[in-house]
Amino acid sequence: MNTTKWRWLSDQIISQLQAGVQFPDLTGTRYRAVRFLARGGMGTVWLAEDTVLGRTVAVKILEVDFTTGELMARLQREAMVLARLEHPGIVPVHDAGTLPDGKAFYCMKYVQGQTLDQSLPSTLRERLRLLQRIAEPLAFAHSRGIIHRDLKPANIMVGPFGEVLIMDWGIAKIGRDALRWSGTSAAITAESDSLPKEPSVPEVPATAHGKILGTPGYMSPEQARGDSDQIDERTDVYALGAILKFLLAGDLSKKESNLKPLYAICEKAMAEQPGRRYSSVQELSDDVEKYLRGDPITAYPEGVIERTLRLYARHRTAVVLVLAYLMMRILFILFSRR
């Protein structure tokens, strides 16, 4: 079939057309598919109605390739833990199961808004505050033994009232502490010793369609190597540094005079070796807070001139008042001698 005449169609429209042909069979569940929402690396997301509670939800249906063997078992376990990972900045999982055709699915809260890559705040301060709001639920997840592993602007939803939610925890790495924090049953906790191992990862990933456990550009070096034993919260630190770099892109350099400390934060967060990065997302967020307050940051050694300019910028009003007072004193002394 000649596809030349269809090239004007956007990828989103093509995805919608493909999804429409494969309208999901939700028979046996409490959900009724309403319309297609998005296609991700591991499946499709549909707007659905919860026919029992009468509310709108989002149902993510995984592709067949990801619903067999160890990975399916792991994804179901992840859904059980994430369902108990309650934080305002984390999209909650309501339900999980298997459809009649064998595909696994998640039922999640339907979040309205725009992803970070679709809409950026206009000012630097707003962008940095937004980054700190991303760090909060991420730090909470880390404290519960869960590493996101696919943090990127497309997985950050910004709501109409400024709320920030981290989405798509489908490839999260779950530590053994997660079961203890999650409140799962004793039987599930006992099964934790037989958690499926990490699925194999291509050494040089050529695509981001869910088989590489990460996204190029936001994926840490240890993820790209497939070294799952080295993945910890510093893996998400790397991705958060990449998001900060994304937030600094564009025309900010024309509006802001001193972005070097922020790029230094990016460089430290995205260091090749995990031991050279920030030890936690909270530590990275703290350096951003210091920048906003006009304090020196740990990632950027200042020179004398830079320190002087920073102090002047922070205490500009006081400096101007002191200089005005000194000028008046000098003028008073000069005129009093006449």
φ and ψ of 204, to 5 deg:
-120, 90
Known active-site residue 150: yes
Element containing residue 65 per DSSP (H, E): none
Q: Give backbone dihedrals phi and psi of 221, rounded to 5 degrees, phi first.
A: -55, -35
List, in sequence order, every residue forming a beta bridge with 60; answer none if it has no partner.
45, 106
Token pair 């991420």: residue: 138
Phi first, then psi, for residue 94 (nearest 5°) are -90, -35
Return the closest-CA partner of residue 94 out of 3, 4, 29. 29
Indicate the Cα dihedral angle 277, 195, 172, 32, nearest 10°.
180
Q: What is the DSSP string of 200-252?
A: P--SS----SSSSSS-TTTS-HHHHHT-GGG-SHHHHHHHHHHHHHHHT-STH
Q: Which of 95, 101, 150, 193 is catalytic?
A: 150
Euclidean distance between CA atoms 57 and 109, whole angstroms: 5
Task: Give the whole-angstrom CA distance, residue 82 versus residue 91.
Answer: 9
Owner of token pair 């993510």: 60
Residues in the chain: 338
Nearest to 238 by CA among 149, 133, 144, 121: 149
d(CA 224, CA 211): 11
Among 37, 278, 20, 17, smallest CA distance to 157 is for 37
Q: How far apart are CA 172 and CA 86, in angstroms?
A: 15
Residues carrying an active site annotation = 150
